[in-house]
Amino acid sequence: MSETLRPGNYLPLLGYNGCEFPVYPADKDLHSHITQIRDLAVRQEDVFIVGYPYSGCRSLWKILSRLWTLSTDDHHGRTGQFHMLDCTSADQLADLPSPRVLNSHYPLRYLPSQILTHQPKILYLLRNPKDVCVSQHLHTERRRGRGDRTFQDFLDAFLNHSTGYGGWFNYVRQYQQAFTENRDLLVHTLRFEDTQANPYKQTRGLCKFLDLDMDEEAISDLVEACCDASHIQPAKRVKKEANSDNMATTPDMYYTEGQVGEWKNWLTVTQDEEFDEAIREHLDGTELDIRYSL
């Protein structure tokens, strides 16, 4: 398949086999990389973290790294490794000791094909699309180092599936369909909003799914260390009109990543209605249970 680099609305996107991918610095040949990742041998003890960007991967990664370290299972404590499939070579991944924790934003069809037969454990991250949109917009602007694209610009791109990985709506529909059609897959869905509302309960469920031996006190200590966001200053609310020419970007804005319901400070009534219409159009029949506030 040929690869076509286009400017994209915010970041350069590389088209491959009907899907567009953000260009990582290490990307030289997307076709070859995906082919090698598809052929990667899967081990039953592998753990895959999958989810659309800005769905809470960083928070989960932080919790998992401490779970592996603190677990009374010495095997996990010694060899836990965390690597991003999207930008790590297949050779490096193959050389990692078990258990491997492999993270990716790829749609399922681009992940190792043996996932469907070897039954590794899959942690699937799901976050409401309105907060994903706001968070992705802010972080994209930060990477660009500019503030000349309005939120309306990004919202239009988001609702038209032009923000990478096929767009949020196609991404979650495809995963939902895959999980429905492959009931034997070992999948644990983590809604970002649930992890923020009750981190202890979610961490305990995570330990159970991963067969990690953690007592109640250890889980409580871990949650306090990893999930207490009181040290993070509240995000600065940026008041703006949807048709403004420029958006004032400040460091405070980027703390919105972990805030549930930040979209309420961004979407106008008209934009919210437009978003809701897209949700009805693209997610009808999926039975996805999306949570928009705490």
- Tell me how far apart the terminal alpha carbons of the chain are, to the nearest angstrom: 44
Q: Given this model, what pLDDT does residue 29 score?
A: 84
For the domain 40-283, what is the CATH superfamily, name and number? P-loop containing nucleotide triphosphate hydrolases (3.40.50.300)
Cα separation, 10 vs 248, in Å, equals: 17
Cβ atoms of 14 and 3 closer than 8 Å: yes
Average pLDDT, the chain: 81
Tokens at 57, concatenated: 């991967």
> Token pair for residue 39?
């052929």
Q: What is the pLDDT of residue 238?
A: 39
Give mean pLDDT, residues 57-66. 81
pLDDT at 148 over 70: no
pLDDT attached to residue 197: 92
Whether residue 146 has pLDDT greater than 80: no
The pLDDT assigned to 82 comes to 65
**Which range has the worst mean pLDDT, 110-114, 201-205, 230-234, 271-275?**
230-234
Does pLDDT of 192 surpass 80? yes
Q: Where are the domains of the chain?
A: 40-283
Closest by CA position to 52, among listed 22, 79, 24, 73: 22
pTM for the complete prediction?
0.85
Strand partners, 186: 121
Per-residue pLDDT, 26 = 53
Q: How many whole angstroms separate alpha carbon 33 and alpha carbon 16?
A: 11
